[in-house]
Amino acid sequence: MNTLAKIILCSLLSASFLPIGVATAFTGTEAYDLTVSGNLNSTSCKVILPDVVDFGHINIDSLSLSSSETVNGENTQIYNIQFESCPESQQAEVSVSGIADSADETVLANAETEETAASNIAISFWDTASHKDTKIDLNSGTSSIYQIGVAAVGDVTRGSIHLKASLVRPESIPATAGHIAAVARFKITYL
């Protein structure tokens, strides 16, 4: 119960014990101190990330299903998000969004529209932080928590997040060869 509520309650209780016809009034001014405290976190982290993940030429027979528990091999590329000048204790979450595949909404659709587009192909994203690949579902807003301000190099704190991008088949039918293109958005939330 806050101080004002206590004062009102005490006033009401004491007034109920007064004889009828007797009133009390408070006059004057009172001053109270308010102590303010807290911590300011720096959001001046510099983010360095590649603009493009190029899979090059992939053997169509090496594609896993998007529902697979793990991904590896030539159809997977490591995607590093690097951070500089973050406080040593800085943590962050990374979520991925984009146009979902119609057969599996947890993966990024191939947005190539030309007649040379590959079919039954999508891109999945994987968290490698715990030394075990964990799929990051597209548009879910969820992610692991990463420690990004860890290694001091001179006066600069550096950290990184290592993700995997993998070409997958969203359906069990075979994929057809062709071009792939898609855009994913990575959202970094500082904690």
Question: Do residues 111 and 119 lie in contact, with contact meaning Cβ atoms separated by under 8 Å?
Answer: no
Give the β-pairing of 184-190 and 91-98: antiparallel
Calculate mean pLDDT across residues 4-20. 49
Q: How far apart are CA 123 and CA 129, in angstroms?
A: 19
DSSP-derived 3-state class of residue 16: helix
pLDDT tens for 63-121 read 888 888 777 777 888 888 998 888 888 888 889 999 999 999 999 999 999 999 999 99
Calculate mean pLDDT across residues 136-152. 82
Q: Is 85 exposed, middle or buried (0-12, 13-18, 19+ CB in 10 A)?
A: middle
Residue 4 — pLDDT band, cuts 50, 70, 90?
Answer: very low
**26 has a pLDDT exceeding 70:** no
Does the predicted model carry a pTM greater than 0.85? no
pLDDT of residue 18: 47
**138 has a pLDDT exceeding 90:** yes
pLDDT of residue 37: 67
